[in-house]
Amino acid sequence: MRESALYAVAVFAVLAAGIALVLNRAPPQDATPFPADVAAETPPPNDFAAQFAAERKQALVHEAREKALESARADERERREHMKREQTTAARDFGPLAQMQLAEQRAQRYELENVDRDWAPRAEAAILEKVSQTGVTVLDLRVECRTSVCRLEVLESANERSISIPVRLALLQIDELQPSPPRRVDSPAGTRATVSYLARK
């Protein structure tokens, strides 16, 4: 009887050991797969390619727009630089010597001309009106027009600030006449006289 009990215990122990070995080798049925496995097994969405193509198209359009804007800015900078070079060249060519020569040519033409009785009074009135609009105070103001050239002489106090600049700006507003740079002429002590010649356009 005792031997039968020992035999039964031994058999039960062997069976228990075998069952434990089998359970340790078998993977758990409810184990959660790793994220890498999920990513590998999950197919990409159907609209992934379409979305990528749309984003790529937008990027290309934005890049093309930026290139066009940069090209336009470069063209504008080049145009401005070209304009500055032309203005510098023109100012250099029309320097003080050229201005003096222009004023002298107009003075000579003025001396040789007769008076156009129809045009001269209207031109003289326009000159006087523009000078009066500046509000400057002068000691004497004389203007005389001939056929194509007018002569304006302004006498002012030498102790005060020169009015040649505001007067010249006012004369530039007369559409029909093109003034030459004013030049200084001899005047009595304590006064300053400037003369401008305005050519008919």
Q: Per the structure block, which two tokens stand in for 15?
A: 């069976």
The pLDDT value recorded for residue 133 is 92
Tell me the whole-structure pTM to 2 decimals: 0.51
The pLDDT value recorded for residue 154 is 92
- Which residue matches tokens 């530039």? 172
User: Measured between alpha carbons, how far apart are the two ends of the chain, in Å?
Assistant: 147
- Pairing mode, if any, of strands 140-145 and 149-157? antiparallel
User: Residue 96 pLDDT more than 60?
Assistant: yes
Can you state the angle between helices 120-133 and 164-171, rounded to 10 degrees? 130
Q: Per the structure block, which two tokens stand in for 69?
A: 């804007």
Dmax (CA) for the chain in angstroms is 164
Question: Quick one: CATH architecture of 115-200?
Answer: Sandwich (2.60)
φ, ψ (nearest 5 deg) of residue 51: -65, -40
Nearest alpha carbon to residue 140 among 127, 124, 156: 156
Domain boundaries, the chain: 31-93, 115-200
The pLDDT value recorded for residue 64 is 85
- Dihedral in degrees, nearest 10, Cα atoms 65, 67, 72, 76: 140
Tally Cβ neighbours within 10 Å of residue 197: 24
Q: Which of 30-44, 104-118, 133-147 has the weakest average pLDDT?
A: 30-44
In angstroms, the CA 194 to CA 9 distance is 139
In angstroms, the CA 191 to CA 159 distance is 8
The pLDDT value recorded for residue 21 is 55
Neighbouring-strand partners of residue 192: 156
Q: What is the mean pLDDT of residues 89-112?
A: 76
